Structure 1
Amino acid sequence: MLFYRAALPLSQATLVFVSGLVRGHRRAVGSPWRALSASEQALLVLVYLRKGEPFAEVAAGFGVSATTCWRYVHETVEILAPRAPKLHTALREARRRRLAYVIIDGTLIATDRIAVDRPFYSGKHRHHGVNLQVIATPDGDILWISGDLPGSTHDTAAARIWQILPALARAGLIALADKGYQGLDEAGNHVITPYKGKGKPDSQKAANRAHAQLRAPGERANAQLKNWRILRKLRCCPYRAGRIAKAIHALLNYELTATAG
């Protein structure tokens, strides 16, 4: 096996942040000695999440076994995931910031599941995966990420499962969504979708164009998420996708805070 040095497009502050969490967790569970230091474990996890390389390759680079690598990643993801904002907290923050609206969008996290796992097969994307719901600001910063659902779940069904409409109503917010969410809010008080069908009058066509222009910047949130290559194709259990995405969201939030400071 060949080895090489590589850069990671993350700040030193993020490494220090994750190292501190790992160090605190080790003290809490009474595990002072490990094959890697807290800082090395944090770097290993950041490499795995950002680069998306298989456990065996990441493990070899850090001089540990693939099993140890998996354990370090699983442990650190479970430390980070609870730090991602809950839905009501995220919408309350959006209201505090006086955002004119938020963006709802679903994304499929591809997995290497085989055809027998029918619930994970998305007919829309023609691929096995899991459905994640993402709420973002108008300019594309992620506010909230849902847990995972099988890839066959329609976006409207996923939004109902996660109770997104009642949460928007409580926060008094409006969300823009694509045609996949039509029927979620029949009254259109809190979720606004484009007009559907052929032969629409000019007024509806103009409304759809304006809707698309407003929604487009917010949809970069999913692109931000998948800059972390682990979410381009998940090789672990599909039901880990939500926890991994939430851990990444916590890291993104910290990166924004660190660079802003």
Structure 2
Amino acid sequence: MVNRGVSCVGRGVPARATLDVPAETAYQVARWLSNYRNTHDARPWQRVATPFVQAVMALRWVNEAIDVPSLARDAGVSVATASRYLHEAIDVIADQAPDLPDVLAEGLRQGWAFVCLDGTLIPSTRVSAPSQAGHDLWYSGKHKQHGGNVQVLTDPTGYPVGVSDVEPGSTHDITAARIHALPALYPAATHGLPTRPTRATQAQAPGSTPPPRATTSPPTITPGTGRSTHYAPRQNAPTPCSTHLESPRARHPRPLENRPDHHRSTGATQTPKTSPVRRPH
């Protein structure tokens, strides 16, 4: 655990708090920040806050979603400096993440049977940019809100092992996958690590098996409901990643109309049959 020192609760009441992060993690981030300062700063010793204080600021923001003014107050810096330190720390931490080919190579060494690829929208109200067509690039018509499209790669257990750079919210999942994920996933598939995609990327995912096509067998009617699942669209079929990354929406086919004159005609000479109607009491 990391002791993040004295903070102010409410109106200037001092209180000590502990950050729920291993101390070694904070020290490692501080070492990364120290190396970054020594490389990019002409006078790194003139910084108003130490690398450890900057590391604690970033870890608090990641783990507790603390607002920037509170981080600035507890660190003893201005809001502008805290915002600059926070973005700098995020970039330094992100630079330590392995590339996608390295992640897939490690998965092959560990014997993963497959990986899952799915796109998600990170909501945000601070981004907006017009396109050539006149619509907002960062507005997702699918999700009905602004945000960024991020491609997430998980191992067979569903644990995230890779996250792509952000694309505008109006970007389709398959377009974002072609940019950030597929160039590394195709070589991995040739070495025995296929990708189990969602419905949006089913056609382009390397090594994936599409769901079976509908057969010509008669429709199956569920007794007592009059509902048929034979004519459900192929796109509605669950994919192997559905259990890991998302919960498919329940889809209800249109039930048969319950009218006295409703009938199925199978020939010109067939006599219409009526269905019993339950009348209200």
TM-score, with length taken from structure 1: 0.70
- Judge conservation of contact 1:91–1:143 (CA < 8 Å) in 2: no
Residues 129, 194 of structure 1: CA spacing in aligned structure 2 closer, same or farther, 3 A cutoff?
farther
Residues 138, 60 of structure 1: CA spacing in aligned structure 2 closer, same or farther, 3 A cutoff?
same
Residues 70, 177 of structure 1: CA spacing in aligned structure 2 closer, same or farther, 3 A cutoff?
same
State the partner residue of 1:216.
243
State the partner residue of 1:223.
none
- Give the greater-gyration-radius structure (CA): 2
State the partner residue of 2:85.
72
Write the distance in 1 (CA, Å) between the matches of 2:183 and 2:101. 10
Write the distance in 2 (CA, Å) between the matches of 1:114 and 1:96. 40
How many Å apart are 1:201 and its aligned residue?
8.3
How many Å apart are 1:8 and its aligned residue?
3.1
The residue matched to 2:45 in structure 1 has which SS?
coil
How many Å apart are 1:5 and its aligned residue?
4.5
How many Å apart are 1:33 and its aligned residue?
2.9
Write the distance in 1 (CA, Å) between the matches of 2:53 and 2:161. 29
- Judge conservation of contact 2:203–2:210 (CA < 8 Å) in 1: no
Q: 1:165 aligns with which of 176, 182, 190?
A: 182
Number of residue equivalences: 211
Write the distance in 2 (CA, Å) between the matches of 1:64 and 1:194. 56
Q: Which has the higher contact order (CA 8 A, sep 6+)?
A: 1
The residue matched to 2:153 in structure 1 has which SS?
strand
Please provide the CA RMSD for this pair: 3.0
Deviates more, 1:24-33 or 1:74-83: 24-33
Amino-acid identity (%): 31
Instruction: Note the residue ranges of structure 1 that are not aligned, 5 or more in a row.
Output: 221-261
State the partner residue of 2:197.
177
How many Å apart are 1:48 and its aligned residue?
1.7
Amino acid at match of 1:132: V
Q: Give per-residue Cα distances to partners, 1:61-92, cap 9 Å, x unaligned.
A: 22211111011112212222121121211111
Q: 1:131 aligns with which of 129, 142, 149?
A: 149
Write the distance in 2 (CA, Å) between the matches of 1:47 and 1:115. 28
Q: Does 1:2 align with 2:18?
A: no
TM-score, with length taken from structure 2: 0.66
Q: Does 1:11 align with 2:28?
A: no
Residues 170, 47 of structure 1: CA spacing in aligned structure 2 closer, same or farther, 3 A cutoff?
same
Instruction: Note the residue ranges of structure 2 that are not aligned, 5 or more in a row.
Output: 1-9, 131-135, 215-227, 247-281
Match runs of 1:143-162 below 5 Å: 143-162=161-180
- Judge conservation of contact 2:138–2:147 (CA < 8 Å) in 1: yes
Write the distance in 2 (CA, Å) between the matches of 1:148 and 1:114. 12
Write the distance in 2 (CA, Å) between the matches of 1:10 and 1:200. 52
State the partner residue of 1:20.
31
- Judge conservation of contact 1:120–1:152 (CA < 8 Å) in 2: yes
Q: Does 1:107 align with 2:107?
A: no
Write the distance in 1 (CA, Å) between the matches of 2:211 and 2:19. 39
